[in-house]
């Protein structure tokens, strides 16, 4: 009864897995296109670039004047009581004396010289915009590499499913053969039961692998910001390149890798910080202008009843920091040290990337050799399992010997699948490090 339930579950799983007519055929190129549109990390990085573009203006750099306007209206209600030295003049006692006055105007400040600090600020804003673009490129390339890895992981898991399906087919043929021999009295019940156990074991392995395959699909849907339950088809083979040249990859990485480009931009920003702080030691010259309009309405009964005053003002202002406890000099020294730190960080990153490229290239070459070796091993193992089954069918081999041959065949195919997948991962890493992962059309 348990055996039948397992078979039913397997059939249902495989029907869901292989019902490809209603499924989307998802190529790697299409997956990357969807990710560039929907992936949240990429969208966040692109919005940060938009912020940097908005900040890169002449006004933010300090080239444009600032103009402020103000308008004010005041009301007052007073109780006046006044006594005079002149005894002939009676005291003044008035309640509810209402007065009001209003003022409006504007002020203009335009910095025309600040030790060239505004030019340094403009350069810094441009560098920040470029750094934002480089950071977005880092995010995009890393995300594309991650998507490519998960995509080929799905292909690998599907290949494993097919390998276990083939193994289950062999186990089924063996089970049917032993069942027929047992029913006609030509075989032992022990061999028949062992065949059932092996078939059930292979069935359980296939069901587990189907779930791994489905989980990998869900992981890719998550990266693409799609519905996790959305189903699709992938190719059943992995195609990898064999034409990489280490010198070309190294040259491309040193000139295009966005991490290196970003490190160089950070170094230039640190150098601009030194210039900006040095500019603060020079005098600052501002042009000033203003206009004020005031009106007064007095109901006290004496003095000025109504008044209006228009005032235009203009001038210039020069300010300089004479002494601040040597704090400005300290800040400049620290900025220079920080520039040296950024320079060392850039050099260290270049060294690390060169080492990573060399290691990835060695892994790539080694993976290709393993692929060639495992392809030969699998061909031999496949031939061996056919021979072993025929010998087992005619009684020239024991169940244990045939099972070992079957296991060796599964192991050989598994190693071949892993070698192909590792070769593809090495290829993806090489294109990521050399910053060519977006330049080439995905091959699959």
Secondary structure of 400-434 as H, E, C letters: HHHHHHHHHHHHHHHHHHHHHHHHHHHHHHHHHHC
Residues 6+ apart with CB under 8 A from 146: 223
Nearest to 399 by CA among 247, 196, 227, 202: 196
Residues 6+ apart with CB under 8 A from 286: 109, 110, 111, 112, 316, 317, 318, 319
Question: What integer pLDDT is reported at residue 3 of this predicted model?
Answer: 46
Question: What integer pLDDT is reported at residue 2 of this predicted model?
Answer: 43
Nearest to 375 by CA among 422, 421, 413: 413
How far, in Å, CA of 65 to CA of 106, rounded? 13
Over residues 417-432, the pLDDT tens digits come to 999 999 999 999 999 9
Question: What integer pLDDT is reported at residue 85 of this predicted model?
Answer: 75
Q: Is the pLDDT of residue 13 over 80?
A: no
Question: What integer pLDDT is reported at residue 304 of this predicted model?
Answer: 66
How far, in Å, CA of 367 to CA of 432, rounded? 18
Over residues 301-310, the pLDDT tens digits come to 555 667 788 8
How far, in Å, CA of 13 to CA of 168, rounded? 14
294 has which bridge partners?
103, 309
Which two structure tokens, joined as six digits, stand for 217?
């699909």
Higher per-residue confidence, 385 vs 149: 149
pLDDT tier for residue 259 given thresholds of 50, 70 and 90: very high
What are the residue ranges of helices labelled H in 184-245? 189-223
Predicted TM-score (pTM) of the model is 0.83
Residues 6+ apart with CB under 8 A from 283: 113, 115, 318, 319, 320
Question: What integer pLDDT is reported at residue 361 of this predicted model?
Answer: 96
Which two structure tokens, joined as six digits, stand for 73?
């209206």
Task: Residue count of the chain, please give it.
Answer: 444
Largest CA distance in the chain: 150
* Share above pLDDT 90 across residues of the chain, in percent, rounded to a whole number: 62
Asked if residues 10 and 164 have their Cβ atoms less than 8 Å apart, the reply is no
Handedness of CA 160, 166, 168, 170 (dihedral sign): negative
Question: What integer pLDDT is reported at residue 302 of this predicted model?
Answer: 58
Q: What's the mean pLDDT in 333-357?
A: 97
Domains and CATH numbers, the chain: 17-56+114-283+320-433 (1.20.1600.10)
How far, in Å, CA of 280 to CA of 115, rounded? 7
How far, in Å, CA of 53 to CA of 196, rounded? 68
How far, in Å, CA of 326 to CA of 178, rounded? 95
When mean pLDDT is compared across 71-80, 91-100, 256-265, the lowest value belongs to 91-100
How far, in Å, CA of 19 to CA of 5, rounded? 21
What end-to-end distance do the CA atoms of the chain give, in Å? Answer: 44
Which two structure tokens, joined as six digits, stand for 180?
């027929």
């Amino acid at each position: 009864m348990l055996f039948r339930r397992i078979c039913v579950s397997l059939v249902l799983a495989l029907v869901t897995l292989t019902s490809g007519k209603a499924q989307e055929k998802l190529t790697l190129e299409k997956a990357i296109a969807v990710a560039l549109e929907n992936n949240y990390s990429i969208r966040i990085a692109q919005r940060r670039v938009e912020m940097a573009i908005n900040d890169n203006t002449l006004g933010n750099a300090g080239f444009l004047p600032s103009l402020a306007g103000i308008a004010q209206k005041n009301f007052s209600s007073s109780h006046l009581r006044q006594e005079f030295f002149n005894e002939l003049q009676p005291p003044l006692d008035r309640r509810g004396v209402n007065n009001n006055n209003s003022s409006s105007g504007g002020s203009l400040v335009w910095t025309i010289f600040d030790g060239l600090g505004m030019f340094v600020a403009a350069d810094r804003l441009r560098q920040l915009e470029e750094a934002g673009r480089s950071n977005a490129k880092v995010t995009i390339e890393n995300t594309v590499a991650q998507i490519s890895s998960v995509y080929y992981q799905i292909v690998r898991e599907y290949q494993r499913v097919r390998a276990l399906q083939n193994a289950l087919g062999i186990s089924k043929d063996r089970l049917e053969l032993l069942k027929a021999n047992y029913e006609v009295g030509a075989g032992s019940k022990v061999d028949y039961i062992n065949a059932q156990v092996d078939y059930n074991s292979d069935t359980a392995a296939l069901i587990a692998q189907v779930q791994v395959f489905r989980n990998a699909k869900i992981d890719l849907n998550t990266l693409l910001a799609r519905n996790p339950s959305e189903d699709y088809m992938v190719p059943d083979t992995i195609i990898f390149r064999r034409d990489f040249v280490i010198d070309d990859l190294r040259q491309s990485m040193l000139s295009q890798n966005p991490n290196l480009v970003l490190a160089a931009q950070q170094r230039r920003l640190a150098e601009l910080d030194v210039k900006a702080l040095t500019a603060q030691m020079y005098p600052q010259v501002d042009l000033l202008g203003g206009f004020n309009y005031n009106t007064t309405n007095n109901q006290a009964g004496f003095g000025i009843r109504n008044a209006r005053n228009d005032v235009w003002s203009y001038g210039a202002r020069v300010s300089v920091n004479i002494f601040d406890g040597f704090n400005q000099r300290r800040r400049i020294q620290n900025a220079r040290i920080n520039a040296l730190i950024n320079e060392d960080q850039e050099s260290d990153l270049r060294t690390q990337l060169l080492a990573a490229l060399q290691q990835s290239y060695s892994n790539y070459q080694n993976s290709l050799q393993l692929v060639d070796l495992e392809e030969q091993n699998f061909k031999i193992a496949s031939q061996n399992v056919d021979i072993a089954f025929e010998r087992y069918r005619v009684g020239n081999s024991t169940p244990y010997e045939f099972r070992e041959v079957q296991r060796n065949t599964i192991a050989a195919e598994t190693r071949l699948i892993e070698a192909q997948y590792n070769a593809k991962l090495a290829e993806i890493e090489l294109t990521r490090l050399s910053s060519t992962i977006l330049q080439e059309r995905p091959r699959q």
